[in-house]
Amino acid sequence: MPAPEPTPPASSLPAAASRFGAHVLADAAARVHDMTAVTGGRPAVPSPPAPAEPPVPPLPEASPAPVPDAGLVRVLAGPSGLGTEGLRLTPRSAPPTAPEPSDPAEGRPVPGLYFHPVPEPDPVRVEEVSRRIKSWALDEVSLYPDDWEEDFDGFSVGRYMVACHPDAPTVDHLMIATRLMVAENAVDDCYCEDHGGSPIGLGERLLLAHTALDPLYTTREYQSQWARSLHADAPRRAYRSAMEYFVQAGSPAQADRYRHDMARLHMGYLAEAAWAQEDKVPEVWEYLAMRQFNNFRPCPTITDTVGGYELPADLHAQEAMQKVIALAGNATTIVNDLYSYTKELRTPGLHLNLPVVIAERENLSEQDGYLKSVEVHNELMHAFETEAASLAAACPVPSVLRFLRGVATWVDGNHYWHRTNTYRYSLPDFW
């Protein structure tokens, strides 16, 4: 992949530097000027079995330069609520967000949900990603037995990832996200949920699988036993292989960011499992805390790797960015609670999700628990957009702006996938 063209930092950098600490922004600006350093020292795309790249039509958003397109304008536009006027960078009359899909896929949105439509994902890319991910699943990691094929296809991971990463420069970049998404779901399904999962012994399984992401370093005798264990089951094979590709494509800091996000995810799975073992329905805030960890966060936070650039670690670590990421992850995950509500009602036992927990803990009907969850989601989305707009204004470094745009696009693509995945999800009859 050719290195992206360097983009000069925005002219307001000195003003932002006075608020953020000159060293942080000076470092960031230096890295933005030297974007080739980001991809120049390592392969831009993973090298394990590298199939030939088919011709992919260039996408309108493929430019590495964070020019304010519709997605970024929306981030920068911020919310419209009381007291948010000062945070908005574009006038309230800013043009509408994303174009309406020309040939909309099926599936209706949750009534009253605050979301942004996305353009239909590029069908050429969807087909190619779908073809390659199946070949990876079957030939490289032996992910599933024959009778799971329908569920694998019904998950439509190609459509999901193409919708969430429209700025990926190549299909190889999209595959980085797609493998990880499939591996993450294999762990959830096989260790925690419908495909043989259980809360019993989950801590052990998750910890051992985590070492496929964050390797064990030990004595020679035990090192080889550990290395063999990574091939022992489908979730570990998938984590190991997907991480190998990711590490080759990203920087050490990006890999470390991902490992940290996955440790968060595994901690969230454990809290959910503990409540299942105890038959406990947590308080609503406790559920929301668990769901901030058992969360889609590891997916939007790789948007820079998939986009072929890097958000520097110090800009990723700043508190305002962490808040934006957490709010985005929480909004996307409550979207899952809403769209998967009926699927989860059908599973044995009480499957916790926000509508169920609100109804139970606040003595509401199922319908009112659901409708209140829609409001919770909408407030999270507005808070995400407010905080993103505020950060974009305060720290207008090109990689920050592009990352914020990538996270916002992921949020919208995630909603699109949930809405249109009628194989997996259906809405309750509440309206």
Ligand X SMILES: CC(C)=CCC/C(C)=C(\C)COP(=O)(O)OP(=O)(O)O
Residue at token pair 């009112």? 368
Q: Does 265 bind ligand X (CB under 6 A)?
A: yes
Binding footprint of ligand X, residue count (CB under 6 A): 13
Residue 399 binding partner per list Mg ion, ligand X, none, with a CB distance cut-off of 5 to 8 Å that depends on partner kind: none
Q: Does 118 bind ligand X (CB under 6 A)?
A: no
Q: What is the distance between the alpha carbons of residues 103 and 362, in angstroms, rounded to a whole number?
A: 41
* Closest by Cα among 405, 398, 313, 414 to 72: 405
DSSP output for 88-141: -SS-TTPPPSSPPPSS--S--PPTT------PPP-HHHHHHHHHHHHHIIIIIS
Instruction: State in angstroms the smallest separation of the CB of 344 from Mg ion.
Output: 6
Three-class secondary structure of residue 51 per DSSP: coil
Residue 420 binding partner per list Mg ion, ligand X, none, with a CB distance cut-off of 5 to 8 Å that depends on partner kind: none
Which residues within the stretch 163-182 sit at the binding site for ligand X (CB under 6 A)? Answer: 181
Q: Does 336 bind Mg ion (CB under 5 A)?
A: yes
Instruction: State in angstroms the smallest separation of the CB of 33 from Mg ion.
Output: 43
Q: Does 340 bind ligand X (CB under 6 A)?
A: yes
Q: Does 241 bind ligand X (CB under 6 A)?
A: no
Q: What is the distance between the alpha carbons of residues 191 and 172, in angstroms, rounded to a whole number?
A: 28
Alpha carbon separation from 251 to 37, 68, 204, 415 (Å, rounded): 10, 26, 29, 29
Instruction: State in angstroms the smallest separation of the CB of 340 from Mg ion.
Output: 3
Q: Does 299 bind ligand X (CB under 6 A)?
A: yes
- Burial track 68-103 (b if 16+ CB lie within 10 A, e otherwise): bebbbbbbbbbbeeeeeeebbbbeeeeeebbeeeee
| Interface stretch with ligand X, choices 54-62, 183-191, 315-323, 405-413 (CB under 6 A) | 183-191
Cβ atoms of 171 and 126 within 8 Å: the answer is: no
Chain residue at closest Cβ approach to ligand X: 340
Residue 69 binding partner per list ligand X, Mg ion, none, with a CB distance cut-off of 5 to 8 Å that depends on partner kind: none
Q: Does 294 bind ligand X (CB under 6 A)?
A: yes
Q: Does 333 bind Mg ion (CB under 5 A)?
A: no
Among 178, 241, 333, 414, binds ligand X (CB under 6 A): 333
- Closest CB to Mg ion among residues 399, 421: 421
Residues that bind Mg ion (CB under 5 A): 336, 340
